[in-house]
Amino acid sequence: MLRGTRLVITLLVSLFAVSPLLAQWELDRRLTYNSGNSRTPVNNARCVAASGDTLHVVWHDDRDGDYEIYYKRSTDGGTGWSADARLTTAAQNSWYPSLAAAEADVHVVWADGRDGNFEIYYKRSPDGGTSWEADSRLTNAPDYSGYPVLAVSPQRDVHGVWADYRDGNWEIYHKRSTDRGTSWGTDERLTHDLGASGYPSVAVLGTDVHVVWFDDRDGNEEIYHKRSTDGGTSWNPDERLTHDPGASGYPSLAVSGTDVHVVWFDDRDGNEEIYHKRSTDGGTSWGADVRLTSDSSFSEHPSVVVSGPNVHVVWEDGRNGYAEIYYKGSTDRGTSWGADVRLTNAPDYSRFPSVAASGTKVHAIWEDVRSGNPEIFYKRNPTGNIGLEEERPGNRETRRPGDRVTPNPFSSFATIPGHEKEAFKVYDIAGRKVGTWRGERIGEGLAPGVYFLRGEADRFSRPLKVVKMR
């Protein structure tokens, strides 16, 4: 009886020890130091990308008299950072950049006024941000093209989406490159309605391309979705995602496997709150709207990223009297959510955050005025992501290796019924792979602790947690 009690106590200690690890955000770090204004774009344009321990960040900055695009990177997971690199040298404003990265390629788009009206420009680094190729003009429209966003597929196709006024109305356009950004196809108009369509967000996995935006064709601003299942060659009809009397705006989009996640801010409740919606079948059908925030002040401009079953959301929030950056996460694909976590505590506003995740780490970038003028700030949680390997392109999560690991917790080894002959990768709580075991002797020889399992042959909808006792 005493031995059983010790086992229960040890198990409880092991389980409760997970929480502080997964919620440990480090101190804010200031990335820019100049007398100008260093600004992040609005939430739909991702300004940070992570791949392993390499981080890429872009922003627009007027230290040189007009706004130019700047870039900075870290190659050690956010501990050290390179010097600021100016990417544009035009005589007019270059602003609202968006960033995407795949392997050694880093892609940046922005809106640029060098041609008399704003056009979309593009720039690529083929060596991880060490050097940059010449600017490339992507649009040649008679009026304003702005608020571009960018995504790159695992096959390294690049998709650019933006809002364009060339037709006398704001519409959403798409353009793609199938050769890593060397050349680009023609502009393609995605929306055709009498309302204004603006602030798009784009995400891609395999040949599936998803675009969301807000649109007032229905008399008030609603969130719409459109998808292509053939890499952007053809597109399904527009789909309205929100149906409420309030204004729904500034969506952010992320995909993982067959899960598609959208977050936005919505004033249906009398003030602006953050909402979430997901599809678990690649955008064919959608679940209900889920309200993520509940406070008396504004919650605006969310940014979302997904890594396997982990969904991470950051936003700006006025509940403390001025805008601060907040975080909320889900470890079960958006089924349930943790508590709001306040990331900043500055004497002035912190706005327009962007989030990225890779390995065990979660990274947040935002614009902050605590220093007297807007500067770029950074914060990370080194253990905020389970850190299991991400889905490979085109993989569809169709099954899970049974919800039973027998026994669990265990002291010697565990078995996964029905999958005894399959191989499973085992990761510790920090996301480090500790080995591979077959399904009939999981964990044999492991030290006591909390571990996560993933299938060697395919990828399941979420990892299995197991606990080994002494």
Q: For the segment 283-306, what is each residue's pLDDT rounded down to a tens digit?
A: 999 999 999 999 999 999 999 999
Confidence of residue 388 (pLDDT cuts 50, 70, 90): low
Cα–Cα nearest to 464, from 456, 453, 455: 453
- With CA atoms as reference, report the closest residue to 347 among 326, 324, 378, 319: 324
Instruction: Tell me the C-alpha distance between 78 and 80, whole Å.
Output: 6
Pairwise pLDDT comparison (155 vs 395), residue with the higher score: 155
> For residues 33 and 29, what is the distance between their CA atoms, to the nearest angstrom?
11
Token pair recorded at residue 362? 């979660």
Which string of DSSP letters, residue by residue, matches 92-154?
A: S-EEEEEEEEETTEEEEEEEE-TTSS-EEEEEEETTTTSS----EE----SS-EEEEEEEE-T
Distance between CA 71 and CA 87 in Å, rounded?
7
44 band by pLDDT with thresholds 50, 70 and 90:
confident
Alpha-carbon distance of 329 to 297, in angstroms, equals: 20
Task: Give me the mean pLDDT over the 330-337 stretch.
Answer: 94
Distance CA 143, CA 243 (A): 32
Alpha carbon separation from 84 to 34, 129, 443 (Å, rounded): 11, 11, 46
pLDDT digits (tens, 9 = 90+) for 135-169: 999 999 888 999 999 999 988 999 999 999 998 89
Residue % of the chain over a pLDDT of 90: 70
Measured between alpha carbons, how far is 249 from 264 in angstroms, rounded to an integer?
6
Q: How far is CA 414 from CA 399, 425, 439, in A?
A: 20, 14, 8
pLDDT attached to residue 394: 41
The neighbouring-strand residues paired with 415 are 406
- pLDDT above 70: residue 366: yes
Tokens (6 digits) for 395:
């993989």
Determine how β-strand 433-438 pairs with β-strand 48-51. unpaired
Please write the tens of the pLDDT for every residue from 187-234: 999 999 999 999 999 999 999 999 999 999 999 999 999 999 999 999
How far, in Å, CA of 409 to CA of 248, rounded? 45
Contact yes or no for 151/203 (Cβ under 8 A) = yes
Residue 453 confidence (pLDDT) above 90: no
CA 68 vs CA 59, 87, 404: distances in Å: 8, 7, 55
d(CA 101, CA 214): 25
Q: Which domains does the chain have, with CATH numbers?
A: 24-381 (2.120.10.10), 398-468 (2.60.40)
Of 112-116, 323-327, 373-377, 379-383, the range with the lowest mean pLDDT is: 112-116
Tokens representing residue 177 in the block: 């490159």
- Using the Cα atoms of residue 279, residue 230, residue 462 and residue 416 in order, give the sign of their dihedral: positive
- Report the mean per-residue pLDDT for the chain: 89
pLDDT value at 22 more than 90: no
